[in-house]
Homo-oligomer: A and B are copies of this chain.
Amino acid sequence: MTYTPHFNQAGEAHIVDISDKSVTQRMAVTEGYIEMQAETLKLIVDMAHKKGDVLAIARIAGIMACKKTAELIPLCHPLSLTHVEIDLEPELDNNRVRCQTTVKTTGQTGVEMEALTATQIALLTIYDMCKGMDRGMVIQSVRLLEKAGGKSGHWLGD
């Protein structure tokens, strides 16, 4: 029968054998959003102009989570990272913050999972810091935007 590559012929999960894949530079870009009330977003923007920068803390949380991806996602290969960048942009017209994460490595497998994990945890950290005033915030549209390097080549989302 057909399985995804994360299962062997017996249908048992394993960490896929990448011993013979070549070491190349690889990159992934992901995005996601957190929607909130207008006042919540306004407070985030106001605070950042003074000292209490929610977005700066969310960025650090995302970067640190990115390094923990292989601990969180069971079948992910542990790997080194050569670059992590997280951009958090308040979108006042849409009452949301957009998160875009770029991750690079030089290795035998891709970094989509690392970039998605960073995006998720950065957005969750915003939730944590603002939940006292706005429990109804929603995380939306977390997805891969772009991927490069390795045998599967360049991939661009819609």
Contact = CB atoms under 8 A, between A and B. Distances in A.
8 contacts: A13-B59, A15-B84, A65-B72, A82-B108, A116-B127, A120-B124, A135-B147, A137-B143
Return the 5 tightest CB-CB contacts between A and B, nearest first.
A11-B51, A17-B83, A7-B52, A139-B142, A15-B84
A120 to B, nearest CB: 5
Interface of A: 1-8, 10-19, 25, 32, 43, 46-47, 50-54, 56-57, 59-61, 63-68, 70-87, 104, 106-108, 112-113, 116-117, 120-121, 124-125, 127-133, 135-144, 147, 155, 157-158
B80 A78 contact: yes
How many chain copies does the complex carry?
Answer: 6
A14 to B, nearest CB: 4
B82 A80 contact: no
- The main secondary structure of chain A at its interface with chain B is mixed
A74 B32 CA distance: 20
A84 B14 contact: yes
B12 A104 contact: no
B14 A63 contact: yes
A140 B137 contact: no
Contact of A60 (B19, B60, B68): B60
Nearest to A112: B131
